[in-house]
C-alpha cells in the first residue's frame, strides 16, 4: 500500500510517503508558513505519488467531531491564517482517497502502538515536551476524542517549593505546559535547554513536574505504557529522574509491578524516535482505509 502522511506542526510540517509496514520511503520537511503556502507545498509533494490514503496528525486545537460542519478544521490558534482553517477539506478536495485526521499527539500514540514501543498494548499515553506540551491517549484499543480531544498539556500542577517562575501559558500561567515546556525551562533558567548541563538542577525540577503529570495519568487512565517524546526529552538523564519521581509521588499506592519494580520499560522514549508523529499520520491513513472498506 502507498500512504501519504502529513505531520502538521506549528513550527514545521513533515510529509512522507510510506507503507503498511510503517516504512517511510520519501519525505519532505519545511517550516510552517501561512496556510496557502504551506498547503501548496504539501499538495505538490503528495501529487508526485499515487497515494491510496492520507493521514494527517495536526497541531491544534482541532475539530474531530464528524457531525460538525467544521470537522477537519484547525479551530483556534494564534498562528497567522490557521485559525478556523479547513486543513482536511483542502486535502480532500485535491485527493479522492480515504483520509485519517487526528491530533499530532494522538497520531504519535497510534504510531507507537502500531509499530513502536507500545505494540500490542491496549492502553497507552504519548506525551510530548517541546515548544508546547501535549498528550495523545489510546484507551481500550481506541484513540480518545470525547468532547473535543484531550488537552493534557494544560492540566494543573502543584508548584515545586523552590520554583519562583511564574509560568508561560497564556491561558493558565503555571499549568503543566506553563512550567514544563521547552520555553518554560529556558525562561526559568535563562539558558537554552540544549545548553543546560545534565547535572543542572533544572532537570530535577523538570522531572518533578513531568512525574506529577504522569502520576495523574497513571491514576486516571491506568496506562500499560507511557511514552515521552519531544525536544526536551532528548535529555535522556530525565528518564531515571522521572522514574524515581513517579515512584516517590505514588508512594506505593499503585501496587503494580510496572510501577514498583520494573518502571524502566514502563515509561520510555518513543521507539520510532523523531518519526513517531509521521509514522502516526501513516497509521491514521491506514486506519482510514479500514473504515472506508
Ligand atoms: P516542536 O514542539 O516545536 O514540534 P520540539 O519537540 O523539537 O519541536 O521542541 C522544541 C523545544 O524543545 C524547544 O523549545 C527546545 O527548548 C527544546 N529542545 C530542543 N532540543 C533540545 C535538546 N537537545 N535538549 C533539551 N531541550 C531541547
Ligand atoms: Zn495552560
User: What is the structure's pLDDT at 292?
Assistant: 55
pLDDT of residue 167 exceeding 60, the answer is yes
Q: Whose CA is nearest to atom 19 of ligand 1?
A: 231
Same domain, 47 and 145: no
Distance CA 248, CA 172 (A): 27
Q: Which domain holds residue 25?
A: 3-107+273-292
Arithmetic mean of pLDDT over the chain: 97
For the segment 176-209, what is each residue's pLDDT rounded down to a tens digit? Answer: 999 999 999 999 999 999 999 999 999 999 999 9
Same domain, 102 and 153: no
For the segment 90-132, what is each residue's pLDDT rounded down to a tens digit? Answer: 999 999 999 999 999 999 999 999 999 999 999 999 999 999 9
pLDDT of residue 293 exceeding 70, the answer is no
Inside any domain, residue 112: no
User: What is the DSSP secondary structure assignment for residue 74, as one 8-state letter?
Assistant: B
Pocket test for ligand 1, best of 13, 130, 203, 206 (most atoms within 8 A of CB): 130
**Burial group, residue 46, by CB count within 10 angstroms (0-12, 13-18, 19+):** buried
Q: Which residues on neighbouring strands pair with residue 169, listed in sequence order?
A: 173
> How many domains, in total, are found in the chain?
2
Same domain, 246 and 277: no
Inside any domain, residue 113: no
User: What is the structure's pLDDT at 78?
Assistant: 87
Same domain, 181 and 283: no
For the segment 41-85, what is each residue's pLDDT rounded down to a tens digit? Answer: 999 999 999 999 999 999 999 999 999 999 999 999 989 999 999
Pocket test for ligand 1, best of 30, 32, 103, 131 (most atoms within 8 A of CB): 131
Same domain, 252 and 288: no
For the segment 9-50, what is each residue's pLDDT rounded down to a tens digit? Answer: 999 999 999 999 999 999 999 999 999 999 999 999 999 999
Side-chain half-sphere CA neighbours of 111 within 13 A: 36
Same domain, 97 and 206: no
Per-position DSSP letters for 131-174, written without gaps between them: SSEEEEEEETTEE--TTS---GGG-B-PPPTT------BTTTBS
**CATH number of residue 263's parent domain:** 3.30.420.40
Would you state the cell numbers that stand for residue 242, as one nine-digit string?
Answer: 522521572
Inside any domain, residue 140: yes
Same domain, 123 and 187: yes
Inside any domain, residue 212: yes
Q: Which ligand is nearest to the CA of 151?
A: 2
Same domain, 43 and 179: no
Same domain, 264 and 128: yes
Residues with CB under 5 A from ligand 2 (ion): 154, 169, 171-172, 175, 177
Distance CA 53, CA 108 (A): 18
Inside any domain, residue 114: no
Same domain, 125 and 48: no
Same domain, 190 and 259: yes
Same domain, 235 and 152: yes
Amino acid at each position: 500500500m502507498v500512504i501519504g502522511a502529513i505531520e502538521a506542526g506549528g513550527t514545521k510540517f513533515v510529509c512522507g510517503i510510506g507503507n503498511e509496514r510503517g516504512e517511510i520511503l520519501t519525505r519532505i520537511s519545511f517550516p510552517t508558513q501561512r496556510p496557502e503556502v504551506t498547503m501548496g507545498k504539501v499538495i505538490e509533494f503528495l501529487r508526485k505519488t499515487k497515494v491510496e490514503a492520507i493521514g494527517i496528525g495536526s497541531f491544534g486545537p482541532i475539530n474531530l467531531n464528524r457531525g460538525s460542519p467544521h470537522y477537519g478544521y484547525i479551530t483556534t490558534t494564534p498562528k497567522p491564517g490557521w485559525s478556523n482553517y479547513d486543513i482536511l477539506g483542502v486535502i480532500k478536495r485535491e485527493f479522492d482517497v480515504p483520509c485519517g485526521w487526528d491530533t499530532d499527539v494522538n497520531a504519535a500514540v497510534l504510531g507507537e502502538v502500531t509499530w513502536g514501543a507500545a505494540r500490542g498494548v491496549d492502553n497507552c499515553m504519548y506525551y510530548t515536551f517541546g515548544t508546547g506540551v501535549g498528550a495523545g491517549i489510546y484507551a481500550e484499543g481506541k484513540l480518545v476524542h470525547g468532547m473535543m480531544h484531550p488537552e493534557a498539556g494544560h492540566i494543573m500542577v502543584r508548584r515545586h517549593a523552590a520554583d519562583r517562575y511564574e509560568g508561560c501559558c497564556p491561558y493558565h500561567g503555571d499549568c503543566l505546559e506553563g512550567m514544563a515546556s521547552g520555553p518554560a525551562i529556558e525562561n526559568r533558567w535563562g539558558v537554552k535547554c540544549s545548553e543546560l548541563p545534565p547535572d543542572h538542577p533544572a532537570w530535577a525540577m523538570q522531572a518533578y513536574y513531568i512525574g506529577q503529570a504522569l502520576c495523574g495519568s497513571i491514576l486516571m487512565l491506568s496506562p500499560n505504557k507511557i511514552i515521552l517524546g519531544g525536544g526536551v526529552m532528548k535529555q535522556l538523564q530525565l528518564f531515571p529522574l522521572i522514574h524515581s519521581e513517579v515512584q516517590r509521588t505514588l508512594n506505593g499506592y499503585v501496587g503494580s509491578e510496572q510501577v514498583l519494580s520494573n518502571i524502566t520499560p514502563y515509561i520510555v522514549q518513543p521507539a520510532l524516535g523523531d518519526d513517531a508523529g509521521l509514522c502516526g499520520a501513516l497509521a491514521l491513513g491506514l486506519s482510514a482505509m479500514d473504515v472506508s472498506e
